[in-house]
Every structure is written in C-alpha cells, then in structure tokens.
Amino acid sequence: MLKEQTKVDAGIFDEKTMIFLSKFFNKGVIEKLDAPIARGKESDIYIAEPGSAAKRFEYVALKFFRVETSSFFKMENYIIGDPRFSKKITGGREKFGIVKMWCKKEFGNLELAHRAKVNAPVPIMFNGTILAMSFIGEGGEPARRLKDAELENPEKTLKSILDQIGRLYRVRLVHGDISEYNILIKGGEPYIIDFGQAVLTGHPNSGEFLKRDVHNILAYFRKRYGVEMDPDETLKRITGKS
C-alpha cells in the first residue's frame, strides 16, 4: 500500500524517506499521499488525505526536506545561536543530521506560532526529514501566495501581517524570512508559512532578522499598493521599545 502511494513521484522517495514516511501512515496521520503542491530547492510539499488521527483537518500537508540540495551553511547559521539546538551541533556536523534538526526546528517553531494564535499551519507530527502540518487552502487547492493575490483591502491585510509578527515576538519568536512569497491568502486572511529559519529572540541575530522582516513587508506593500508605514515606528510598536 505504502509503495503504491509513493509512486506519485518515485524520485524523491529514497529508502530513508520511505522509512520515515511509513510512520505517518502507521500513526494514522495520513491515509493517502497525493500530488506535490509546491517544489523548492530545499523541500517539496505534498497534499495528503488525513488518517484517523488527523480527521479534524480536510487535508494534511507533508513537507519533505531535501538533503542533497539543501543549503547546509544557511541552515547551520540559523541553528547556531538558537539555545534549543546549538549544543547539539558537534563533530563533523553531518548534513543529514542538520536537515533532520531543521525539520524538528520548524515543527517547534510552528508550535510556538500556534500557541501565539498566529495564522500559520498547525503542526501535527515530524519524523526524520518529513513534517506533517495542516493544509492551507480550500477543496484541495492551495491558497495563493501574497505575491499572486489581488487584495481588496491592502492596508487591513498589512496590519494583520504586522499583528502576526507582533504575536510571534511576544512568544519570543522571529520568523526571519517574511516576504510576499512566505504569506498565503485564504478567505481574505494572511497566513504565514515556512518557519524553518525562525529563531528565538535570544538568538544573536534576532534583532536584525526582525528588522529585515518588517522592512521587507512594508517595502512590498508600498511598492505594490502604495501603502505607507514608517519602518522604525512599526518596529517600536512590535517590540514595545522606544
């Protein structure tokens, strides 16, 4: 049964991945693996039909992290300095272990986002280099990225995104890669995705990451919709620092 399901794209499913994937079936997280809905250099995302343990979701999204094409040094830079994981990086820093850690890190970051009541995928389970989370979309169709959406009320959407960034900050988390590519629009509401690189505020570069997030999203809305907000004042409102 599992072998048949993974014929969807046999290229990505090596022996290790197959072993990791089998646990999602065995735990009742998924019942059937369907087609890929997004592909990237570092991961592929597939839609899956939920199993008995995930029936509250219409669909489940499975994120398969690629080991061979992942940016090892980029991942390492976001892990080193994170008190949750830094002490675990030792010895040769074998690439497969780093990618597994990255998968675990995204799961933990999504848990924090969910606790903060941020619009983001709900984490369900991770194993090895695979992460299961709630699917953001309707009727099996993925929600549009912000860059591809035409917003009816851009200012309202921007304020909602900034509110989400503030909610993350209050649980000591900084996304670190906010852009029009990592925000989906569903039912008129923005959903933040791709939390692998997110760091705790104790990370030495968290301040710069937060500043970059705010500047990037404000620049996008200024260029695309003509919405003007002062970056410095926005940062002060988010952090509560004058």
Residues catalogued as catalytic: 177, 194
The one-character DSSP state at 61 is: E
Question: Token digits for 90?
Answer: 């030792």
Among all chains, which residue has been given the structure tokens 């072993």?
A: 19
Dist CA 236 CA 190 (whole Å): 22
Give the full edge-to-edge strand order of the sheet including 43-50.
Answer: 30-39, 43-50, 60-65, 130-134, 123-127
Question: Token digits for 135?
Answer: 């699917």
- Answer for the pair 179, 192: CB distance below 8 angstroms, yes or no: no
Side-chain half-sphere exposure of 166, counting CA atoms within 13 A: 14
Q: Which residues pair with 32 in a beta bridge?
A: 49
DSSP conformation letters of 139-158: TTEEPEEGGG---S-HHHHH
Dist CA 238 CA 241 (whole Å): 8
